[in-house]
């Protein structure tokens, strides 16, 4: 059989198409002009693939991450050499820390110019290597197909993450045979999918003996597509559950076994339940500092079972009594059928329900007096009521992120998308853009603070140009809210560089041709949300909220979960 001979640029596009990718995000430049030439003449204009021109390469990486986070399939972003590649860095690091599958393709100068400080030459592989699962340097068209075949496999398997491919300009231009049938054989990369039967039996032994068990639903459970298995496990074993920030929307927020989010801004019942548990079962949580608080006083009476695909996470932060390496869906499919019948923890549930009655999530907010100013929780609650918890909600980073986590009633699987590990301000809008591309028939809301929104607000032009129906909401308190809160609590209200001079947001949105609404009370907030939802296209709402509202509950830095404060 005669193989087709294609340019390197065409091979890139054929590999992307073969993988099933429908949309790529990018920004052209000198080193990738040959790729864009073939992309548009042979693939975009015939309708084989969609290219979305972002206004900053960082947004391309975030948007590709939005696809990866909500589909499990690698999103693709493209940038040129030099500044194009370096502008991807934050979005790629965000994908790495949040285990989002992504392919980041960068152009490079002609291979004979490498090392000569040529125009727009940077060592993008060296820069990105610490924040990707793997990197490829390609200077021959013949190597492109195998590299991309392996890259998609690496990005989507095991613990997902970004893979970087740097391709020289001559590799794009030169030709090579295209096979279309490459296979992957990576002897040093064989992720464990099935949990050890021996370890599962040990875990079962602890589960059956526990009097005060708690399950922590982490991001790993969502990545493993294990929503049904998690619910069956909780119900059959009669175990209460809390979620990490990234675990939210794995199961419905109102599931009878679900308490709420735990951690720094988790609820008091969730934090108390973990602290007082005699068994903690981690379903894909990495026990990061935002949920553990003071490590040597984290669940001091508990034994720990840790289910995780990444063996490096087991025992890294918390001493694990029973580690089980594998895909959580597969592990639970083994353990659920052998759980004993009629497991009950009536006394433990009674204590948890008592805490929930004594410490409702808004107990700390009610203690604050902001007069007639609208509160952020009110906005999120109204949004939850109007969407019935069925929208994809993509907060930015800061107070808006925590208010969404606390108050939005997530019903749909994987509908909470947020920058967690890196905490990237500005991620919200481009992440939402990627989510909407991946889920065109679903409602998608981007929730930002006035500070974070301004970091990537030019992407409003992208939304408008490509008619990407993202509903944008800015909670405008005139501050970098979370930093101001810490200055309030720990630095005697020294609001150093946190007060924000903001543009006229409504006029700004309208200058992009986007319908815009303003709300400063609950009535106008509900009306604005209703109007925005009726419009088939991007819309913008500015919610003017209390300037100095702090978010509680809160665990102070270095404190224990038992010391969760409500004001």
482 is catalytic: yes
120 is catalytic: yes
Residue with the two structure tokens 């934090």: 271
347's CB contacts (< 8 A; 6+ apart) are: 211
Cα-based torsion angle of the residue sequence 561, 254, 362, 297 in order, rounded to the nearest 10 degrees: 0
Q: How far apart are the first and last CA of the chain?
A: 73
Which residue of the set 22, 48, 120, 232 is catalytic? 120
Which residue of the set 4, 119, 129, 366 is catalytic? 119
Q: Residue 43 — φ and ψ, nearest 5°?
A: -130, -45
**Are 49 and 57 in contact, with CB atoms under 8 Å apart?**
no
> How large is the average pLDDT for residues 444-453?
98
**Are 421 and 288 in contact, with CB atoms under 8 Å apart?**
yes
Residue with the two structure tokens 């700004």: 508
**Are 465 and 25 in contact, with CB atoms under 8 Å apart?**
no
pLDDT tens digit sequence for 522-532: 999 999 999 99
- Positive/negative CA dihedral, 458, 460, 465, 470: positive
511's CB contacts (< 8 A; 6+ apart) are: none
Angle at 406 between CA 548 and CA 97, to 5 degrees: 100
Spatial separation of the C-alpha atoms in residues 308 and 286, rounded to whole Å:
8
Answer yes or no: is pLDDT of 1 > 90. no
- Positive/negative CA dihedral, 464, 466, 467, 471: negative
Answer yes or no: is pLDDT of 5 > 60. yes
Spatial separation of the C-alpha atoms in residues 433 and 444, rounded to whole Å:
8
Q: What average pLDDT does the chain have? A: 97
Distances (CA, A) of 401 to 404, 418, 425, 435: 5, 8, 10, 17
Answer yes or no: is pLDDT of 371 > 60. yes
Query: What is the DSSP secondary structure assignment for residue 43, as one 8-state letter?
Result: I
Angle at 128 between CA 480 and CA 150, to 5 degrees: 125
Distances (CA, A) of 288 to 245, 291, 454: 11, 6, 29
Largest CA distance in the chain: 77
**Are 546 and 379 in contact, with CB atoms under 8 Å apart?**
no
Bridge pairing between strands 241-243 and 213-217: parallel
Which residue of the set 38, 133, 169, 436 is catalytic? 169
> How large is the average pLDDT for residues 233-245?
98
Spatial separation of the C-alpha atoms in residues 54 and 96, rounded to whole Å:
21
Which residue of the set 156, 482, 540, 544 is catalytic? 482
Q: What is the pLDDT of residue 342?
A: 83
Q: What is the pLDDT of residue 3?
A: 80
Please name which of 421, 369, 384, 380 lies closest in space to residue 402, comparing C-alpha atoms: 380
Q: What is the pLDDT of residue 555?
A: 97
Bridge pairing between strands 175-178 and 4-7: antiparallel
Please name which of 373, 350, 28, 4 lies closest in space to residue 211, comparing C-alpha atoms: 350
Distances (CA, A) of 129 to 23, 93, 136, 544: 25, 10, 9, 42
> How large is the average pLDDT for residues 201-220?
97
Q: What is the pLDDT of residue 199?
A: 97
**Are 416 and 445 in contact, with CB atoms under 8 Å apart?**
no
pTM value? 0.97
pLDDT tens digit sequence for 123-151: 999 999 999 999 999 999 999 999 999 99
pLDDT tens digit sequence for 245-259: 999 999 999 999 999
pLDDT grade, residue 2 (50/70/90)? Answer: low
Answer yes or no: is pLDDT of 375 > 80. yes
Answer yes or no: is pLDDT of 28 > 70. yes
Q: Is the peptide bond before 217 cis (omega within 30 degrees of 0)?
A: no
Q: Residue 304 — φ and ψ, nearest 5°?
A: -125, 130
pLDDT grade, residue 553 (50/70/90)? Answer: very high
Residue 5, helix vs strand vs coil: strand
Query: What is the DSSP secondary structure assignment for residue 218, as one 8-state letter?
Result: -
pLDDT tens digit sequence for 431-442: 999 999 999 999
Q: What is the pLDDT of residue 364?
A: 93
Q: Residues of 23-34 as b/e, b for ≥16 C-beta within 10 angstroms?
A: bbbbbbbebbeb
Cβ burial, residue 132 (10 Å; 0-12/13-18/19+): buried
- Positive/negative CA dihedral, 430, 403, 469, 543: negative
Q: Residue 357 — φ and ψ, nearest 5°?
A: -70, -40
- Positive/negative CA dihedral, 286, 389, 23, 396: negative
pLDDT tens digit sequence for 310-369: 999 999 999 999 999 999 999 999 999 999 988 999 999 999 999 999 999 999 999 999
């Amino acid at each position: 059989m005669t193989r087709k001979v294609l340019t390197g640029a065409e091979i890139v596009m054929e590999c992307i198409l073969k993988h099933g990718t429908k949309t790529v995000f990018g920004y052209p430049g000198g080193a990738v002009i040959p790729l864009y030439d073939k992309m548009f003449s042979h693939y975009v204009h015939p309708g084989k693939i969609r290219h979305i021109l972002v206004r900053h390469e960082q947004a391309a990486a975030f948007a590709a991450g939005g696809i990866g986070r909500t589909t499990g399939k690698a999103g693709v972003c493209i940038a040129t050499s030099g500044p194009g590649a370096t502008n991807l860095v934050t979005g790629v690091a965000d994908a790495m820390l949040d285990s989002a599958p992504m392919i980041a393709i960068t152009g490079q100068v002609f291979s004979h110019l490498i090392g000569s400080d040529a125009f727009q030459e940077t060592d993008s592989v060296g820069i990105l290597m610490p924040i990707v699962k793997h990197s490829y340097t390609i200077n021959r068209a013949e190597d492109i197909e195998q590299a991309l075949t392996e890259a998609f496999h690496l990005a989507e398997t095991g613990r997902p993450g970004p893979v970087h491919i740097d391709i020289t300009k001559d590799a794009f231009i030169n030709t090579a045979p295209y096979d279309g049938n490459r296979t992957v054989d990576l002897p040093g990369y064989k992720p464990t999918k099935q949990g050890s039967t021996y370890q599962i039996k040990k875990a079962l032994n602890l589960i059956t003996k526990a009097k005060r068990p708690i399950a922590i639903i982490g991001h790993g459970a969502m990545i493993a597509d294990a929503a049904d298995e998690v619910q069956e496990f909780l119900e059959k074993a009669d175990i209460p559950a809390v979620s990490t920030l990234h675990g939210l929307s794995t199961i419905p927020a109102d599931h009878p076994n679900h308490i709420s989010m735990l951690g720094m801004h988790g609820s008091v019942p969730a934090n108390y339940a973990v602290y007082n548990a005699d068994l903690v079962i981690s379903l894909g949580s990495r026990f990061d500092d935002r949920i553990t608080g003071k490590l040597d006083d984290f669940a001091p009476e508990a034994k720990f079972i840790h289910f995780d695909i990444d063996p490096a996470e087991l025992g890294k932060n918390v001493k694990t009594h029973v580690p089980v390496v594998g895909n959580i869906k597969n592990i639970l499919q083994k353990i659920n059928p052998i759980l004993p019948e009629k497991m009950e923890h009536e006394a433990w549930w009674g204590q948890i329900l008592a805490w929930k009655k004594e410490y409702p999530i808004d107990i700390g907010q009610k203690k604050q007096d902001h007069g007639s100013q609208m509160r952020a929780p009110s906005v999120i609650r109204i949004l939850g009521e109007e969407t019935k918890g069925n929208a994809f909600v993509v907060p930015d980073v800061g107070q808006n992120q925590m208010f969404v986590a606390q108050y939005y009633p997530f019903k749909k699987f994987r509908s909470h998308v947020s920058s967690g590990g890196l905490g990237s301000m500005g991620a919200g809008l481009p992440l939402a853009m990627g989510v909407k591309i991946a889920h065109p028939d679903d409602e998608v809301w981007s929730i930002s603070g006035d500070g974070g929104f301004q970091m990537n607000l030019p992407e409003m032009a992208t939304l408008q140009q490509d008619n990407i129906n993202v509903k944008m909401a800015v909670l405008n308190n005139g501050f970098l809210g979370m930093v101001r809160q810490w200055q309030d609590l720990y630095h005697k209200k020294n609001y150093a560089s946190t007060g924000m001079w903001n543009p006229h947001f409504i006029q700004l949105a309208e200058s992009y041709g986007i319908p815009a609404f303003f709300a400063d009370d609950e009535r106008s907030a509900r009306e604005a949300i209703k109007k925005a939802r009726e419009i088939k296209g991007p819309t913008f709402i500015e919610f003017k909220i209390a300037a100095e509202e702090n978010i509680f509950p809160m665990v102070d830095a270095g404190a224990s979960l038992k010391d969760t404060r409500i004001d």
